[in-house]
Structure 1
């Protein structure tokens, strides 16, 4: 009877694992890159990070940051406006929302 060979992982067990939240479209692309290169998604991410030219990405980072802040500011204004509604106005708004679900 043959002994099973131990499978060695590319990373030691002591290596910490991290979770990264990305949008579904980016995850699909990451998955495709991993399949093409026959690598794990983590390894693909590491290669992309190692090869990234931060100077070239600065404009994209700035645009993403501005979008994030803009959404946050809009949300804050909307929440402030909703807080000022009277109970009757809130009830009317809830009715409109219920009609949207139908």
Structure 2
């Protein structure tokens, strides 16, 4: 599983392809850039979609991106994975309390 890209893999070959791929590397580069906000120029108008890890030049562009089929699909997957993670966390908590 790649938490950054919100991708689930069926096996090691698939995960290796993903982690070696251009899309993951670009997402990782964007993620790293935004982990240290002080490294961003103070006059930067860039805005970030934290689901797709896409950088837009303006809020208007980001608003358009939010309505795109690609973003909507990634958001659906993201919400499913977040729900599964929360369910798993609760299950583990129950098991630890018994």
TM-score bracket relative to the smaller structure: 0.3 to 0.5
Larger Rg: 1
**TM-score for the superposition, normalised by structure 1:** 0.41
Higher strand proportion: 2
Which one scores higher on RCO, CA 8 angstroms, separation ≥ 6?
2
**TM-score for the superposition, normalised by structure 2:** 0.42
Higher helix proportion: 1
